[in-house]
Structure 1
Amino acid sequence: MGSYLITTTPAHGHVAPLLTIARHLIARGHRVRFLTGAKYADAVTAAGAEFLPIPPESDIDLDRVGELFPERAGLAGPAAIRFDLRNIFFTPARGQYDALVAAIEAEPTDAVLTEGLYLGGALLALRPRSERPPIVALGIFPLGAPSRDTAPFGVGMIPMGGWIGRLRNRVMTTIADKVIFGPVLEEADALAREIVGRSFEGSFLTWNVRADALVQFTVPSFEYPRSDLPSTVTFAGPLPWMPPAAVALPDWWDELDGSRPIVHVTQGTVANADFSSLVRPTIDGLAERDDLLIVVTTGGRPVDTLGPVPANVRVGSYLPYRELFPKLDVLVTNGGYGGVQQALAHGIPLVVAGQTEDKIEVTARVGWSGAGINLKTNKADAAKLARAVDTVLRDPSYRAAAQRIGADMRTTDALAALDGVLERVVALPTA
């Protein structure tokens, strides 16, 4: 059996999907070591993998970035990405790389599996293939592969066809590389030369498509078409959903009987410190709608932190999503990649409002695909949100698009696809 090393930045949205992969590999008899932040040691051990810690000076908890970096508040789009790259990803890169190299030197490793924001993996990929194991990048966020057919990643622009679209993309890419991200790209190259002795080949933001393989956990119908897609990319479909420990059904569960449409709103388990971003606007915008039932999860926070709610709202700290999703008519969300894909897998149309981190690209794809409405904001207006929900409920094209993507997703087996990629890259000769 094989020996695999999984690496990820310490954030719930990064660690959770990679733990699903770890469990799968272990169930197939492989040895798995898992390199991440100390906060996740117990979760890694519970999954059956060996926990390896990122050095303390590089162990930045991405779920607490608002607390650790209060100056980040209010940033969105490229400005937020620049800030994050400098302060959250460049700073820990050396420690990530040193820990990764030490783990490889400690014992034979058939392949390194890493998500794209673990810069230690990006730095290792710069070394000649003969000096390192194969590197498999794990696409747990929207695909950022550069293309003549797409705008640069991070600006949230959907594709435009024809020569005008390609001209726009070329101009936007030049602006992004030279102006928007130019200084941070230079910093990344300087960091790479200092640590590895060579610069990134092209933008480090797209290093993962130059890995030995990139397994993108979605389907082509939820990703922008690229006529020049790199051969390293494999679309695997979404990872299977691994819900948290069993959640008891709330006492109002029997009201979800299909007698009226159900709208579910969530800000996830991380970006839920301020419910005024999305949850309260949904509640307030639909407060007088007795024809709808609004189901809210506070993402683990106490229910009473939400304050008073109208008669058509039901609230839970956590909810049993496996049972809830088949009952939903609309999902209102800030655009987490995994949650959006789970909704689509169930054929649920969406209303999305998120412009930070990768969410600007997730929400753009929701609007582009026709599976929902992108409000293009971080803080939704109650009246606009209510109109969007009504539109999605009234216009069958949104559900039809979501169901079309969902049908594509249900034909996939993401973990089997990953197995095939691993078998291929491990067998490749070193160059």
Structure 2
Amino acid sequence: MARYLITTWDGAGNLVPTLGIARALVDRGHDVRILGHETITRRCADVGARFVTLTQSEGWDAMDTPDDFEAEVKLMIEELCFSSAIARDLAQELDREPADVVIVDCLLFTAIDVALASGTPTATLFHTAYSIFRGGPLVEMFTPGIAIANAARAELGLPAIESLAEIHDACARALVAVPEEFEPDVADAANVVRVGPVLDAPALSREIDEVDVGDGAKPLVLVALSTSEQGQADLLQRCVDAVARMPVRAIVTTGAAIDPATVRAGVDTQVVRYAPHADILPSASLVITHAGLGTTMAALGRGVPLLCTPMGRDQFFNAEQVRTLGAGLMLMPDASSEVIAQTAAQILGERSFASSAEQLAVSISEYGGAAKAVAVLEALGQDR
């Protein structure tokens, strides 16, 4: 038995691979601690790990992030990615109880540095596309964090960096929960292990609604926008209005950010707050989504094409990859319900979209997901 300490945060989608890997480690008989926001334990299913609450938990709410993009970036830089509080909590937890391996979310740069400085074998977990951290808008967005990171690194006795990628590259392993096929043009660093999507993750809610997938007489469409608040209420309603125009059944999951009672739905549409997508996707013919990576990978991992309506963050990248791979189409988030319905009908009507998604599902199945991640982490623990 090895001791694993996972440092994460409540960002909704990032918890899919994190909790899935944590549960797989527990199932293997390991001692697993999760250091994270208290809202994770309040909302998500128990995975059998010991939970340690971040001191930053008070006042943090992933369901209530700023609508303004610049304000959201500022919050991410100051309160998350380069948080001295999260870094301090990790250092104190390692002092209180050492670990054989530390796993840190890829966005928690100062926490990764604490783990590296401790001398404990460290893995970082990418719950979003690896390539967006190697160049492009996200790298530019986080540039102010380099100075913050270097100030913290100096106190830890670590050398200064010129790019944030150097922090990821210094980890013993970088676990990427994204298949290579989804980002073929990136050169992986030597420490990267592509474990692929974690498709058997535990529920992200303790309250699960019952859904009726129907008898297959009509195509089933899953409508699922962001779990967290991104100002998606109007877009969600237009998506629901779109499926009402079509000869389909639909299941809509609103997540914590939207009350299902506020959504006006057609007679063949069921609106719930939360139901595991794994229970719906085997019967689904199409997913209409904001293209968060969790929903995107869940759909592709089960061979279901997507209609993507990205709103921000990494979603435009994900949506463009879906389109490039032929597994779906993309619309801007201001698309009318008529256009959404027409595009959804196109995807349902052209077999090529489902065929491409099914081919990707075959490729994804070969990565291993949580089981592959556990094998890598166990080997890392044995090397200590």
Q: Same fold (TM over 0.5)?
A: yes
Between 1:193-202 and 1:136-145, the stretch displaced more is: 193-202
Q: How many angstroms apart in 1 are the aligned matches of 2:17 and 2:122?
A: 18
Contact 1:94 1:120 in 2 (8 A): yes
Specify the alignment match of 2:195 in structure 1: 236
Q: CA deviation at 1:114?
A: 1.2
CA shift in 2, pair 1:56/1:384, >3 Å: same
Query: Is 1:50 aligned to 2:60, yes or no?
Result: no
Cα deviation code 1:40-66 (max 9, x no counterpart): 345789433222221248863333223
Specify the alignment match of 1:423 in structure 2: 378
**Equivalent residues in 2 for 1:246-395 (5 A)?**
247=208, 249-250=210-211, 253=212, 256-271=214-229, 274-277=232-235, 279-289=236-246, 291-299=247-255, 301-307=258-264, 309-319=265-275, 321-375=277-331, 377-395=332-350
Q: How many angstroms apart in 1 are the aligned matches of 2:333 and 2:383?
A: 44
CA shift in 2, pair 1:104/1:371, >3 Å: same
Specify the alignment match of 1:210 in structure 2: 170
Q: 1:88 aligns with which of 67, 79, 99?
A: 79
Q: 1:97 aligns with which of 87, 91, 94?
A: 87
Query: Is 1:220 aligned to 2:176, yes or no?
Result: no
Between 1:13-22 and 1:399-408, the stretch displaced more is: 13-22
Q: TM-score, normalised by structure 2?
A: 0.87
Specify the alignment match of 2:61 in structure 1: 61
Amino acid at match of 2:173: A
Q: How many angstroms apart in 1 are the aligned matches of 2:325 and 2:15?
A: 27
Q: TM-score, normalised by structure 1?
A: 0.78
Contact 2:62 2:228 in 1 (8 A): no
Q: How many angstroms apart in 2 are the aligned matches of 1:275 and 1:263?
A: 18
Q: How many angstroms apart in 1 are the aligned matches of 2:52 and 2:61?
A: 16
CA shift in 2, pair 1:61/1:325, >3 Å: same
Q: How many angstroms apart in 2 are the aligned matches of 1:40 and 1:338?
A: 16
Amino acid at match of 2:275: L
Q: CA deviation at 1:344?
A: 0.8
CA shift in 2, pair 1:81/1:395, >3 Å: farther
Q: How many angstroms apart in 2 are the aligned matches of 1:352 and 1:49?
A: 34
Counterpart secondary structure, 1:230: coil
Contact 2:102 2:115 in 1 (8 A): no
CA shift in 2, pair 1:44/1:120, >3 Å: farther
Contact 2:17 2:177 in 1 (8 A): no
CA shift in 2, pair 1:154/1:59, >3 Å: farther
Percentage of pairs with the same residue: 22
**Equivalent residues in 2 for 1:101-180 (5 A)?**
101-124=91-114, 127=117, 131-144=118-131, 152-154=135-137, 177=140
Q: CA deviation at 1:96?
A: 1.1
Amino acid at match of 2:255: G
Q: How many angstroms apart in 2 are the aligned matches of 1:269 and 1:340?
A: 13
CA shift in 2, pair 1:315/1:185, >3 Å: closer
CA shift in 2, pair 1:44/1:265, >3 Å: closer
Q: How many angstroms apart in 1 are the aligned matches of 2:303 and 2:172?
A: 33
Q: CA deviation at 1:266?
A: 1.5
Q: CA deviation at 1:80?
A: 6.7
Cα deviation code 1:227-247 (max 9, x no counterpart): x32121111121123235584
Amino acid at match of 1:89: L
Cα deviation code 1:74-133 (max 9, x no counterpart): 42xxx5774344343256x11111111111122331110111112332322553xxx420
Name structure 2 gaps, 5 residues minimum: none
Contact 2:2 2:30 in 1 (8 A): yes
Q: CA deviation at 1:388?
A: 1.9
Q: CA deviation at 1:4?
A: 0.8
Contact 1:188 1:204 in 2 (8 A): no
CA RMSD of aligned residues (A): 2.9
Q: CA deviation at 1:320?
A: 5.2
Q: CA deviation at 1:5?
A: 0.6
Higher relative contact order (CA 8 A, sep 6+): 2
Counterpart secondary structure, 1:5: strand
Q: How many angstroms apart in 2 are the aligned matches of 1:142 and 1:241?
A: 18
Contact 1:276 1:379 in 2 (8 A): no
CA shift in 2, pair 1:261/1:200, >3 Å: farther
Contact 1:154 1:361 in 2 (8 A): no
Q: How many angstroms apart in 1 are the aligned matches of 2:352 and 2:148?
A: 43
Specify the alignment match of 2:35 in structure 1: 35
Contact 2:16 2:201 in 1 (8 A): no
Contact 1:100 1:120 in 2 (8 A): no
Cα deviation code 1:155-203 (max 9, x no counterpart): 6xxxxxxxxxxxxxxxxxxxx65xx654x14433444345435455332
